[in-house]
Amino acid sequence: MKICFITSECEPFVKTGGLADVCGSLPFALTMLGCEVKIFLPFYDVIDTQKYGLKPVKGIEDVKVNIGEKIVNFSLFTCRLNDSYIDVFFIDCPEYFHRKKIYTNDKDEDERFILFQNAVLISLQNLKWIPEIIHCNDWQTALIPAYLKKNFYGEDMFQKTASVFSIHNIAYQGLFDKSSFEKTNFPAEDFQPMGPFELNDLFCFLKAGISYSDIVTTVSPTYAKEIQTKEYGAGLEGVLVSVEDKLFGILNGIHDEIWNPRTDNLIFMKYCESCFEKKVENKEELLKKTKLEFKKNTPLLGIVSRFAWQKGFELFEPIIKDLLLKNIQIIVLGEGESRYEKFFKKISEAYPEKIATFIEYNNKLAHQITAASDIFLMPSKYEPCGLNQMYSLKYGAVPIVRKTGGLADTVRDVDEYGETGNGFTFEDFNSRCFYNTLLRALDYYKDKEKWRKIVKVGMNEDFSWNKSARKYIEIYEKAFEKVK
C-alpha cells in the first residue's frame, strides 16, 4: 500500500512537539509492515540542508500556484529519512517558510499552509506517484481531503486515493476570517453557514478536514470519545458526533530506538530494567548541572513540556510552596507561554536548592531529565495522547498524570490496579487532587520494594509502534474501500 504522509513537522528535521515524533516514527513502522511511504513537509529555513543532504527535484522548480489573486512559486527538494527507504519531500517557498518560527501569527498564516497543501498535490501529480492513502495531520493539512473530494486537480488522478485525517490536538483549528476562503481557489459558494468550511462565521481548516476525509483518527481512544463532548470538543463536538462512524482513536506509539534507556546515547549512563541500579548515575550527573545537591533518597520530580495552557501548570501555583517543604527536588524543562516561564523561573530563584528550571527547547536535556527523574509530572487539562508519560514509563520515572486522553489510556493508578499499576492518576482538575496524588506517590516512594515493582511494570510496557501501525493499516484499508 502506498501512503503519503503530510505534516507540518517531522523528526529529525523540525519539531515543536509530539506531532514531529509521530511523523518521524510511524512511517518506519508502516514500511516494516510492507507499506511504501513518502512524507511531505514545508522547507523551513531551520531545516539543515547539508546535514540531511537535501537535493532539488528536477523538473519541479518554480512551479506557479494561485493563492487567490496572488501567484506564488515553489520548488521541491528531497532526501531519505535516516537509513530508510522513505523519501521525504520539502516544499520550498522562502517567502512563506523562512520565518522566525514555524508557526506564526502573521497575517498570511493561512496562505502559508494553503500554498503548502496545493504544492503537495501538484508535486504528487508531477512525480506521477499516486498513493492509495493521503494521511493528513492537523489543520495545516486539513484542506487536502476537500481538494481530493472536489477533484480540484482534475484528471482523475486522485479518484482512487482516500484521505485519512488525524487530529493531534482539537484546540488548534486553523481559524481565519472568512475572506481567507478566496485564497483556497474553491468556488466562493462552497463557503456556507454551518457548512464544512464554516465555524462561527470563520473559515475553519480543521472542520474541512473532519468533514471531507474518508476517515478521521485521533491519537488515543479516550480522546476520541472526549472530543465528542462540549468540555473537550472546542466547538467541534457536534461535527465530531455527526461523523462518529468514521472516527477512530489509535494510541500513538514511541520510537524505541530513540527513546530507550538501554541504547540512548544522549543520557549519562545507559540502563535497563535488570540493571536499574545504574539509573541513579543519571540523576547524579544531571544534578551537577544545577544547584541541586544529589541526595540518593530524595526523589527527583521531572517535567519536560511545551508551556501551554493544555498542560495544566496552573495547578502548581497554590501548592508549590507546600510541595517544596517535602523531601523532594524538581527539575523543569520547558518553553512557551510567558506566565508559566515566569512562574517556574521565579520559584526556582526563591528555592534554588529545591527546584531548577531550564527555559529552552533542548532535546538532549529532555532525554537526560527523563533518565534522571524518579517521578514524572503531567497534570494536563487535556492531552490527546502525550508521549512524555510513555517515555518516562520506559525510563523508570513513575508518571503522575491527570486521567485524561492518552494519559488515561497509558497510566494505571497503583491504588486502582494493584500489581499491574504503573503510576498515579487523578481525575478532577484542581490543585488539591493533584497535591493529594503527589503525596500518595511520595508515600509509595518511601517503600523501596513497592516502588521498584511499579517501576518494573512501567519499564515493561509495550508502546512500540508495531501494534498501532497495524491498526492504521486496518484504517487505511477501510478508507480505501470507500473510494475503490
Q: Is 38 helix (H, G, I), strand (E, B) or coil?
A: strand
Q: Considering only residues 155-194, where is the footprint of ligand GLC by CB under 6 A?
A: 168-169
Residues whose CB falls within 8 Å of the CB of residue 440, separated by 6 or more in sequence, listed in order? 415, 424
CB of residue 69 to ligand ADP, shortest distance in Å = 36
CB of residue 19 to ligand GLC, shortest distance in Å = 5
Residue 166 sits in the site that holds ligand ADP (CB under 6 A): no
Report the half-sphere exposure of 17 (CA within 13 A, side-chain side).
20
Question: Is the distance from CB of 57 to CB of 23 less than 8 angstroms?
Answer: no
Q: How many whole angstroms separate alpha carbon 449 and alpha carbon 259? A: 26
Residue 389 sits in the site that holds ligand GLC (CB under 6 A): no
Joined together, the cell numbers standing for residue 78 give 528531497
Question: Which of 145, 253, 312, 386 is the binder for ligand GLC (CB under 6 A)?
Answer: 386
Residue 19 sits in the site that holds ligand GLC (CB under 6 A): yes
Question: Is the distance from CB of 142 to CB of 136 less than 8 angstroms?
Answer: yes
Residue 362 sits in the site that holds ligand ADP (CB under 6 A): yes
Query: Residue 19 class from Cβ within 10 Å (0-12 exposed, 13-18 middle, 19+ buried)?
Result: buried
Site string for ligand ADP, 1-20 (x = CB under 6 A): ----------------xx--
Residue 363 sits in the site that holds ligand ADP (CB under 6 A): yes
Q: Interface with ligand GLC by CB under 6 A: which range of 18-26, 112-120, 277-285, 466-474?
A: 18-26
Residue 17 sits in the site that holds ligand GLC (CB under 6 A): yes
Residue indicated by cell numbers 478532577: 428
Question: Which of 387, 397, 400, 408 is the binder for ligand ADP (CB under 6 A)?
Answer: 387
Residue 218 sits in the site that holds ligand ADP (CB under 6 A): no
Q: How many whole angstroms separate alpha carbon 476 and alpha carbon 253? A: 17
Residue 21 sits in the site that holds ligand ADP (CB under 6 A): yes
Which DSSP state fits 425? Answer: E
Question: Which of 386, 399, 421, 458 is the binder for ligand ADP (CB under 6 A)?
Answer: 386
Question: Is the distance from CB of 237 to CB of 228 less than 8 angstroms?
Answer: yes
Q: How many whole angstroms separate alpha carbon 402 and alpha carbon 377? A: 9
**The residue type at 334:** G
Question: Which of 385, 411, 441, 479 is the binder for ligand GLC (CB under 6 A)?
Answer: 385
Q: Considering only residues 297-326, where is the footprint of ligand ADP by CB under 6 A?
A: 304-306
Residue 117 sits in the site that holds ligand GLC (CB under 6 A): no
**The residue type at 310:** Q
CB of residue 385 to ligand GLC, shortest distance in Å = 3
Q: Which does 251 bind (CB under 5 to 8 A by kind): ligand ADP, ligand GLC, none?
A: none
Question: Which of 111, 226, 383, 413 is the binder for ligand GLC (CB under 6 A)?
Answer: 383
| Ramachandran bin of 82, using left for φ above 0, alpha for ψ from -120 to 50, beta for the remaining angles | left
Q: Which does 219 bind (CB under 5 to 8 A by kind): ligand ADP, ligand GLC, none?
A: ligand GLC
Q: Which does 388 bind (CB under 5 to 8 A by kind): ligand ADP, ligand GLC, none?
A: ligand ADP
Dihedral of alpha carbons 97, 98, 103, 109, sign: negative
From 211, 213, 195, 215, select the one nearest 203 (Cα to Cα): 195
Q: How many whole angstroms separate alpha carbon 69 and alpha carbon 136? A: 26
**Secondary structure tally for the chain: helices H, strands E:** 20, 19
Give the residue with the Cβ less far from ligand ADP, 21 or 132.
Answer: 21
User: Cα-flanking dihedrals φ and ψ of residue 295, to 5°?
Assistant: -135, 120
- Count other C-beta atoms under 10 Å from residue 36's C-beta: 16
Question: Which of 387, 441, 454, 459 is the binder for ligand GLC (CB under 6 A)?
Answer: 387
Which DSSP state fits 362? Answer: -
Give the residue with the Cβ less far from ligand ADP, 26 or 35.
Answer: 26
Residue 11 sits in the site that holds ligand GLC (CB under 6 A): no
CB of residue 128 to ligand ADP, shortest distance in Å = 35
The residues of the shown chain that bind ligand GLC, judged by CB under 6 A, are 17-19, 22, 168-169, 219, 252, 383-387, 406
The residues of the shown chain that bind ligand ADP, judged by CB under 6 A, are 17-18, 21, 304-306, 333-335, 361-363, 366, 385-388
